[in-house]
Amino acid sequence: MKKNFWKKKKLDELTKDEWEALCDGCGKCCLIKLEDEDTGKIEFTNVACKLLSLKNNKCLKYEQRHKIVHDCVKLSYQNIDKIKWMPKTCAYKLVSKGENLPEWHHLVSGNIKSVHHSGKSVRGKVIRENDSIELEKYIVNWI
Protein backbone atom coordinates (compact mmCIF):
# COMPACT_ATOMS: atom_id res chain seq x y z
CA MET A 1 0.00 0.00 0.00
CA LYS A 2 1.39 3.37 -0.97
CA LYS A 3 1.95 6.05 1.63
CA ASN A 4 -0.76 8.73 1.72
CA PHE A 5 -2.88 6.83 -0.82
CA TRP A 6 -6.02 8.53 0.53
CA LYS A 7 -4.64 11.92 -0.53
CA LYS A 8 -4.02 10.76 -4.09
CA LYS A 9 -7.18 8.81 -4.80
CA LYS A 10 -10.92 9.27 -4.57
CA LEU A 11 -12.91 6.72 -2.61
CA ASP A 12 -14.10 4.98 -5.78
CA GLU A 13 -10.46 4.48 -6.85
CA LEU A 14 -9.34 2.66 -3.69
CA THR A 15 -8.43 -1.01 -3.77
CA LYS A 16 -10.23 -3.32 -1.34
CA ASP A 17 -7.18 -3.29 0.97
CA GLU A 18 -6.93 0.51 0.85
CA TRP A 19 -10.66 0.80 1.61
CA GLU A 20 -10.34 -1.46 4.63
CA ALA A 21 -7.18 0.31 5.83
CA LEU A 22 -8.96 3.65 5.77
CA CYS A 23 -11.24 2.64 8.66
CA ASP A 24 -9.90 4.20 11.86
CA GLY A 25 -11.41 1.51 14.11
CA CYS A 26 -13.37 3.91 16.31
CA GLY A 27 -16.40 1.57 16.40
CA LYS A 28 -18.95 4.42 16.36
CA CYS A 29 -20.67 3.14 13.24
CA CYS A 30 -21.32 -0.13 15.11
CA LEU A 31 -23.38 1.51 17.84
CA ILE A 32 -27.12 1.02 18.04
CA LYS A 33 -29.02 4.11 16.93
CA LEU A 34 -32.66 5.03 17.50
CA GLU A 35 -34.69 7.06 15.03
CA ASP A 36 -37.76 9.02 16.05
CA GLU A 37 -40.46 7.89 13.63
CA ASP A 38 -42.19 11.28 13.73
CA THR A 39 -39.22 13.64 13.40
CA GLY A 40 -36.56 11.45 11.83
CA LYS A 41 -34.12 12.58 14.53
CA ILE A 42 -31.45 10.00 15.26
CA GLU A 43 -30.31 9.34 18.83
CA PHE A 44 -27.07 7.51 19.53
CA THR A 45 -26.66 4.95 22.29
CA ASN A 46 -23.64 3.55 24.03
CA VAL A 47 -24.80 0.05 23.13
CA ALA A 48 -22.61 -1.76 20.62
CA CYS A 49 -23.71 -4.29 18.03
CA LYS A 50 -23.46 -7.84 19.29
CA LEU A 51 -20.67 -8.48 16.78
CA LEU A 52 -18.36 -5.65 17.90
CA SER A 53 -15.40 -6.80 19.98
CA LEU A 54 -15.35 -4.56 23.04
CA LYS A 55 -11.58 -5.14 23.32
CA ASN A 56 -10.34 -4.05 19.92
CA ASN A 57 -13.38 -2.53 18.14
CA LYS A 58 -13.27 -5.07 15.33
CA CYS A 59 -16.22 -7.03 14.04
CA LEU A 60 -16.14 -10.58 15.36
CA LYS A 61 -17.75 -11.93 12.16
CA TYR A 62 -16.73 -9.31 9.61
CA GLU A 63 -17.22 -11.38 6.47
CA GLN A 64 -20.63 -12.68 7.61
CA ARG A 65 -21.87 -9.50 9.35
CA HIS A 66 -24.56 -8.65 6.81
CA LYS A 67 -26.05 -12.13 7.07
CA ILE A 68 -26.03 -12.11 10.88
CA VAL A 69 -27.12 -8.50 11.51
CA HIS A 70 -29.87 -7.68 9.03
CA ASP A 71 -29.53 -3.89 9.33
CA CYS A 72 -25.73 -3.74 9.24
CA VAL A 73 -24.95 -1.06 6.67
CA LYS A 74 -22.37 -1.81 4.01
CA LEU A 75 -20.41 1.40 3.51
CA SER A 76 -19.39 2.35 0.01
CA TYR A 77 -18.18 5.41 -1.84
CA GLN A 78 -21.73 5.64 -3.19
CA ASN A 79 -23.50 5.89 0.16
CA ILE A 80 -21.00 7.43 2.60
CA ASP A 81 -22.31 10.97 2.12
CA LYS A 82 -25.94 9.84 2.40
CA ILE A 83 -25.61 8.18 5.80
CA LYS A 84 -26.44 10.97 8.21
CA TRP A 85 -25.40 9.16 11.37
CA MET A 86 -21.76 8.57 10.48
CA PRO A 87 -19.40 10.36 12.87
CA LYS A 88 -17.84 13.61 11.66
CA THR A 89 -14.40 12.07 12.23
CA CYS A 90 -15.08 9.07 9.97
CA ALA A 91 -12.13 8.72 7.59
CA TYR A 92 -14.42 7.75 4.72
CA LYS A 93 -16.43 10.93 5.19
CA LEU A 94 -13.31 13.08 5.50
CA VAL A 95 -11.69 11.64 2.38
CA SER A 96 -14.92 11.96 0.41
CA LYS A 97 -14.89 15.69 1.21
CA GLY A 98 -11.19 16.09 0.40
CA GLU A 99 -10.30 16.76 4.04
CA ASN A 100 -7.26 15.55 5.97
CA LEU A 101 -7.28 12.60 8.32
CA PRO A 102 -6.87 13.51 12.00
CA GLU A 103 -3.46 13.10 13.62
CA TRP A 104 -4.75 10.18 15.71
CA HIS A 105 -5.70 8.14 12.63
CA HIS A 106 -3.39 5.13 12.34
CA LEU A 107 -2.46 5.95 8.75
CA VAL A 108 -1.13 9.31 9.97
CA SER A 109 0.24 8.35 13.39
CA GLY A 110 1.65 4.97 12.36
CA ASN A 111 0.05 3.41 15.47
CA ILE A 112 -3.09 1.28 15.08
CA LYS A 113 -3.98 1.98 18.73
CA SER A 114 -3.80 5.77 18.48
CA VAL A 115 -7.59 5.99 17.96
CA HIS A 116 -8.00 4.43 21.41
CA HIS A 117 -5.21 6.43 23.07
CA SER A 118 -6.75 9.66 21.77
CA GLY A 119 -10.14 8.80 23.29
CA LYS A 120 -11.83 8.89 19.89
CA SER A 121 -12.93 5.26 19.95
CA VAL A 122 -15.79 3.61 21.82
CA ARG A 123 -13.46 1.14 23.54
CA GLY A 124 -14.23 1.07 27.25
CA LYS A 125 -17.30 3.30 26.81
CA VAL A 126 -19.97 0.89 25.58
CA ILE A 127 -21.87 -2.23 26.50
CA ARG A 128 -22.82 -5.12 24.24
CA GLU A 129 -26.29 -5.35 22.75
CA ASN A 130 -28.63 -7.95 24.23
CA ASP A 131 -32.37 -8.59 24.23
CA SER A 132 -33.00 -7.27 27.75
CA ILE A 133 -31.57 -3.77 27.23
CA GLU A 134 -34.01 -0.87 27.09
CA LEU A 135 -32.14 1.18 24.50
CA GLU A 136 -33.85 4.45 25.44
CA LYS A 137 -31.96 4.37 28.76
CA TYR A 138 -28.61 4.31 26.95
CA ILE A 139 -28.91 7.40 24.73
CA VAL A 140 -25.70 9.47 24.66
CA ASN A 141 -24.53 12.54 22.79
CA TRP A 142 -20.99 11.94 21.61
CA ILE A 143 -20.93 11.67 17.84
pLDDT tens, residue by residue, 106-140:
999 999 999 999 999 999 999 999 878 899 899 98
For residue 35, list its beta bridge partners. 42
pLDDT of the residue at 130: 85
Parse the chain into domains and list their residue ranges: 5-140
**Largest separation between any pair of C-alpha atoms in the chain:** 47
pLDDT of the residue at 106: 96
Sign of the alpha-carbon torsion through 34, 21, 111, 89: negative
pLDDT tens, residue by residue, 35-92:
888 998 889 899 999 999 999 899 999 999 999 998 899 999 999 999 988 888 999 9
- Determine whether 28 is exposed, middle or buried from the number of CB atoms within 10 Å of its CB (0-12, 13-18, 19+): buried
pLDDT of the residue at 45: 93
CB 10 within 8 A of CB 26: no
Name the amino acid, one letter, at 91.
Answer: A
pLDDT of the residue at 31: 93
What span, in angstroms and rounded, lies between the C-alpha atoms of 20 and 5?
A: 12
